Amino acid sequence: YMVAEPKRFIQLAGDLDLAWFEEPVIADDKPGMAEVRASSSIPIATGESEATRYAFRDLAVLKSADIFQPDPAFCGGISEAMKIGTIASAFNLRFAPHLWAGAPCFFAGLHVCAASPASFTVEYSLGANPMIHDLIEETVEAKDGMIAIPEKPGLGFTISERFLEANAQRC
């Protein structure tokens, strides 16, 4: 949207107790995002397409977001996601990584969330996503709104050899 449309949406939806409004304007328009946030009673979430901690620093300094959503597969991996979580914590923002790129990204993000004081939720796809659900041997289950942190070595999952063999021709 352009800045005017999400501001109008916020006026219409402000009393609906929405958890957040994700990327109400194009991610590159950080000043526009700040303008939307300044007019909003709905928390603004953004960051799934940001590639470095410096972009998140700019979001924080401009007061463009309430919730940071870095994608570990896009932002530079676990180390960079941890630095972004630190920025969120330093600016008293919330942290909810975007974890849709597949099982390795999901498990990396799960561990980052467990280690970040700013994290408050995990985005998890319950839909048909074979790169999340079929690529690994384990089954990830949300119980009472919680996902257990794996205790196995590494990120805590095992790649399914069966899945790799079945999909080898596609690569």
Catalytic residue among 98, 119, 132, 157: 98
Dist. CA 30–CA 18, nearest whole Å? 22
Candidates 125, 109, 64, 54; CA nearest to 84 is: 54
Catalytic residue flag (residue 133): no
CATH number, position 65? 3.20.20.120
Chain centroid to Cα 122, Å, comes to 7
**Residue 99: inside a domain:** yes
Mean pLDDT of the chain: 94
Q: Which pLDDT belongs to residue 171?
A: 58
pLDDT at 170 over 80: no
**For the segment 42-87, what is each residue's pLDDT rounded down to a tens digit?**
999 999 999 999 999 999 999 999 999 999 999 999 999 999 999 9
Q: Which pLDDT belongs to residue 124?
A: 78
Q: Which pLDDT belongs to residue 100?
A: 87
**Residue 41: inside a domain:** yes
13 sits in which H/E element:
helix 4-13
Contact 43, 67 (CB under 8 A): yes
Q: For residue 129, what are the contacts with CB-CB under 8 A and spacing of at least 6?
A: 100, 102
Domain enclosing residue 14, as ranges: 4-126
**Residue 160: inside a domain:** no
Candidates 1, 5, 65, 54; CA nearest to 30 is: 65
pLDDT at 110 over 80: yes
Give the pTM. Answer: 0.92
**Residue 94: inside a domain:** yes
